[in-house]
A = this chain, B = another copy of it.
Amino acid sequence: MNGAHALLSTLHANHVTTVFANPGTSEMHFVAGLDDVPDVRAILCLFEGVATGAADGYARVTGHPAATLLHLGPGLANGWANLHNARRAHSPLVNIVGDHATYHSILDAPLQSDIAAVAGAVSGWVRRSQSPNDVANDVASAISAAYGPPGQIATLILPADSSWGDVTQESPWPVALRHAPLAPDEVALERAVRLLRTKNAALFLGGTALNADQLALAHRVAQAAGVRVIMETFPAIMEHGAGIASPERLIYLSEFAIHQLADLEALIVIGSTPPVGFFAYPDVSSHVVSSDCEVLLLAPTNVDSRATLAALVELLAAPALSVEQGVRPLAPTGALTTESFAAAVAATMPEDLIIADESNTSGLHLYGATRFAPAHRLMTLTGGSIGYGLPVAVGAAVASGSRVLALESDGSMLYTPQALWTMAREQLDVTVVALSNRSYAILNLERQRVGAVSEGSASQRMLDLDSPPLDLGALAGAQGVPNVRVTTADELVAALNRSYATPGPMVIEAMLPKGLS
Q: A84-B77, A101-B286, A286-B107 are in contact. Are A160 and B32 (CB under 8 A)?
A: no
Q: How many residues of A contact B (CB 8 A)?
A: 103
Q: How far is the CB of A450 from chain B (nearest CB, A)?
A: 5
Minimum distance in angstroms from A48 CB to a CB of chain B: 9
Q: Which residues of B contact A331 (CB under 8 A)?
A: none
Among candidates B44, B49, B111, B118, residue contacting A118 with C-beta atoms closer than 8 Å: B118
Query: How distant is the Cα of A384 from the Cα of B75 in the complex, in angstroms?
Result: 11
Residue of B nearest to A464 (CB): B44
Q: Nearest CB to that of A41 among chain B residues?
A: B458
Closest to A282 in B: B164
Main secondary structure of the interface of A (DSSP, over half): loop
Contacts of A117 in B (CB 8 A): 117-118, 120-121
Residues 345-394 of A contacting B (Cβ, < 8 Å): 382-387
Does residue A480 face the partner (Cβ distance < 8 Å to B)? yes
- A424 with B84: CB separation less than 8 A: no
Cβ–Cβ contact B273 & A108, under 8 A: yes
A 19-53 contacts with B by CB, 8 A: 21, 23-26, 28-29, 31-36, 38, 42, 44, 46-47, 49
Q: Who on chain B is nearest to A481 by CB?
A: B468
Assuming the contacts A104-B280, A122-B113, A273-B108, asked whether A29 and B425 have C-beta atoms less than 8 A apart, the reply is: no
| A477 partner residues in chain B, CB cutoff 8 A | 471, 474, 478
Question: Closest Cβ of chain B: how far from A516's Cβ, in Å?
Answer: 19
Asked whether A80 is an interface residue with its Cβ less than 8 Å from the other chain, the reply is yes
Which residues on the B side are within 8 Å of A107 (C-beta)?
276-277, 286-287
Contact of A417 with B417 at beta-carbon distance under 8 Å, contacts A35-B456, A462-B42 already known: yes
Residue from the set A122, A280, A451 with the largest chain B CB neighbour count within 10 Å: A280
A26 neighbours in B (Cβ, 8 Å): 279
Contact of A110 among B33, B35, B88 (CB under 8 A): B88
Q: Assess whether A103 is in contact with B456, with CB atoms less than 8 Å apart.
A: no
Give bound CA distance, A417 to B470, whole Å: 13
A101 touches B46 (CB 8 A): no
Query: Nearest Cβ in chain B — how far from A177, in angstroms?
Result: 28
Task: Please measure, in the bound complex, the distance between the C-alpha atom of A383 and the C-alpha atom of B33, giving whole angstroms.
Answer: 27
Cβ B164 vs Cβ A382 within 8 A: no
| In contact, B118 and A121 (Cβ under 8 angstroms) | yes
Contacts of A443 in B (CB 8 A): 23-25, 28, 31
| Residues of A441-458 whose CB lies within 8 A of B | 442-443, 446-447, 449-454, 456-458
A84 to B72, CA, bound (A): 11
Alpha-carbon distance between A18 and B479 when the two chains are bound, in angstroms: 33
- The reply to whether B458 and A118 form a contact with Cβ atoms under 8 Å apart is no
Q: How far is the CB of A500 from chain B (nearest CB, A)?
A: 22
Q: Which residues of B contact A480 (CB under 8 A)?
A: 468-471
A245 within 8 A of B: no
Whether, in the assembled complex, A316 has its beta carbon less than 8 Å from a beta carbon of chain B, the answer is no
With a cutoff of 8 Å between Cβ atoms, the chain B residues found around residue A33 in the complex are 459
Contact B110 A160 (CB under 8 A): no
Q: Is A221 an interface residue (CB 8 A)?
A: no
Contact A34:B462 (CB < 8 A) given known A452-B28, A480-B469: yes
Determine the distance from Cα of A499 to Cα of B111 in the docked complex, in whole angstroms. Answer: 34
Instruction: Please name all residues of chain B whose beta carbon is closer than 8 Å to the beta carbon of A411 when the two chains form the complex.
Output: 46
How many angstroms from the CA of A382 to the CA of B74 in the assembled complex? 13
Q: Is the CB of A280 within 8 A of B454?
A: no
What B residues does A88 contact at CB under 8 A?
110
The answer to whether A428 has its CB under 8 Å from any CB of chain B is: no
- In Å, the complex CA distance between A122 and B74 comes to 10
CB closest residue in chain B, given A276: B107
User: A424 is contacted by which of B29, B383, B468 (Cβ under 8 Å)?
Assistant: B468
A85 to chain B, nearest CB (A): 8
Report yes or no: A454 in contact with B101, Cβ–Cβ below 8 A. Answer: no
Q: Which residues of B contact A383 (CB under 8 A)?
A: 74, 110-111
Interface string of A163-182 (1 = CB under 8 A from B): 01000000000000000000
**Distance (Å) between the CB of A80 and the closest chain B CB?**
3
Q: Is A234 an interface residue (CB 8 A)?
A: yes
Of the A-B pairs whose beta carbons lie under 8 Å apart in the complex, a sample of 7, sorted by A's number, is: A24-B443, A31-B459, A47-B414, A47-B415, A73-B121, A77-B77, A118-B121
